[in-house]
Amino acid sequence: MERIKVVGVGPGTEDYLTPAAQKAAAWADVLVGGRKSLALFKGLGKPEVVLDGRLERAVAFIKENRDKKIAVLVSGDPGFFSFLAYLRRHFAQRELEVIPGISSVQVAFARACLPWQDAGFFSLHGRNGDRVMAEGVLPAVEAGKKVAVLAGSDYTPQKVASFLLQRGVRGVRLLVAGRLTYPEEKVVAGSLEFMANCPEEFNGCVVLIADEF
């Protein structure tokens, strides 16, 4: 029985697809993934199963089709706030093969020209944002640590900046990166005071990097 390939397809565009990801998709009988990830491989003409947020249905499909070669496509890197943790609850390690990808966080740090091995990482997606901010992001920022936060429409960059300001944080620069690698990519940086009132709209998932001036 073939292992299930869990494939990181990068932050969005073909330029950031790795050769290993392309090879895994070409190998598969069926591609499972979100619409944007699947769109990267339309040219292969493979049967597709769309991941629409109902993860249990994807797992059920995979279990029912273990006789097929299946590649699960995930944006960014599978091991970074992604689908891999959920799959590990349903499949043994020996059943999976993980193909790493370039995460949006890596690209955001590249845009900021900053090293990121010393950063703290947090996600506000599908979580209690205020709790993550209060128990994770805030203590890290107060300790002078570089921080990367995955945010979005439910917890905007303006809200993150306002949260930190209301708790007395000062002297911190916030970089906001959205639609990374796409033609409409947007990167804005400034003080917390500037970002709290920034008129820019960031649709969808964004990466925030907080660092001291």
Model confidence, pTM: 0.92
CA 158 to chain centre: 19
Residue ranges in the chain whose pLDDT is less than 70: 213
Say which residues have a Cβ less than 8 Å from residue 53's Cβ, sequence separation at least 6.
Answer: none
On whether the CB atoms of residues 10 and 180 are closer than 8 A, the answer is no
Tokens linked to 18: 């790795």
Looking at residue 126, its pLDDT comes to: 81
**Domain spanning 4-102: CATH superfamily:** Tetrapyrrole methylase, N-terminal domain (3.40.1010.10)
Say which residues have a Cβ less than 8 Å from residue 45's Cβ, sequence separation at least 6.
Answer: none
User: In the Cβ-directed half-sphere of 104, how many Cα atoms lie within 13 Å?
Assistant: 31
Residues 173-213 have pLDDT tens digits of 999 999 999 999 999 999 999 999 999 888 778 999 999 86
Average pLDDT, the chain: 95
The residues of the chain that CATH labels 3.40.1010.10 are 4-102
Looking at residue 165, its pLDDT comes to: 97
Q: Where are the alpha helices (DSSP H) in the chain?
A: 19-27, 35-39, 55-64, 84-88, 104-112, 129-132, 138-142, 157-166, 192-196
The residues of the chain that CATH labels 3.30.950.10 are 105-212
Report DSSP letters for 68-120, one per residue: S-EEEEESB-TTSSSTHHHHHTTS-GGGEEEE----HHHHHHHHHT---TT-E
On whether the CB atoms of residues 18 and 10 are closer than 8 A, the answer is yes
The CATH code of the domain at 105-212 is 3.30.950.10
On whether the CB atoms of residues 163 and 133 are closer than 8 A, the answer is yes
Looking at residue 78, its pLDDT comes to: 97
Tokens linked to 149: 């936060």
Looking at residue 152, its pLDDT comes to: 83
Q: What is the spatial distance between Cα 38 and Cα 33, in angstroms, rounded to a whole number?
A: 6
Looking at residue 205, its pLDDT comes to: 83
